[in-house]
């Protein structure tokens, strides 16, 4: 894959990728972008091994998820500043800011796999099959993670 083609693909995928990582990082935008950059460099280095057996975005999200997991192992994400959530663009009403804070606080309490499954399914509109490929787990497990994630979120989000 040439550098130009890779950049073109990245241009298309950068927003969903950053949003996915932003959800995983519980609203810490700086950390999410850092992991996204790391993932893109890794993807670029490995782009020669991309055979096109899956969609480029699926492959890229999988690398990003692995980068996120590596980052979690290196440093605990509990110090993710929640005030980042306040700075979210277009969140101009205090109600909306409160809902984002609530969402990120709830997401932060979820186990990584549940969080990733929830983010991919509800924020990125990915199919169970795609999530299964990204998270490298059977489709049944993805459904289970989604179900558990919803239950856990319900305990932490007041509606």
Residue 90 near another protein by CB under 8 A = yes
For residues 74 and 68, give the distance between their C-alpha atoms in angstroms, rounded to a whole number.
10
Q: Which of residues 4-33 bind another protein (CB under 8 A)?
A: 6-7, 10-11, 14-15, 18-19, 22-23, 27, 29, 32-33
Nearer to another protein, 47 or 141 (CB): 47
Residue 118 near another protein by CB under 8 A = yes
Task: Please work out the total of residues on this chain that contact another protein, with binding judged by CB under 8 A.
Answer: 40
Q: Which of residues 53-82 bind another protein (CB under 8 A)?
A: none
Window contacting another protein (CB under 8 A); options: 44-52, 57-65, 71-79, 131-139: 44-52
Q: What angle do CA 35, 102, 93 make, to 5 degrees?
A: 100
Q: Which residues bind another protein (CB under 8 A)?
A: 3, 6-7, 10-11, 14-15, 18-19, 22-23, 27, 29, 32-33, 36-37, 40-41, 44-45, 48, 87-91, 96, 99-100, 103-104, 118, 122-123, 150, 153-154, 157, 159
């Amino acid at each position: 894959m040439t550098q130009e083609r890779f950049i073109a693909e990245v241009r298309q995928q950068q927003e969903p990728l950053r949003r996915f990582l932003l959800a995983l990082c519980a609203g810490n935008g700086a950390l999410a972008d850092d992991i996204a950059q790391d993932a893109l460099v890794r993807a670029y280095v490995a782009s020669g091994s991309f055979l096109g057996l899956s969609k480029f975005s699926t492959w890229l999200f999988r690398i990003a998820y692995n980068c996120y997991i590596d980052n979690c192992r290196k440093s605990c994400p509990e110090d993710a500043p929640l005030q980042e959530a306040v700075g979210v663009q277009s969140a101009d009403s205090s109600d909306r800011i409160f809902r984002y804070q609530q969402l990120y606080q709830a997401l932060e309490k979820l186990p990584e796999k549940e969080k990733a499954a929830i983010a991919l399914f509800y924020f990125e509109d990915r199919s169970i099959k795609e999530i299964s490929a990204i998270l490298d787990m059977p489709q049944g497990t993805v459904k289970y993670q989604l179900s558990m994630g919803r239950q856990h979120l319900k305990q932490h989000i007041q509606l």
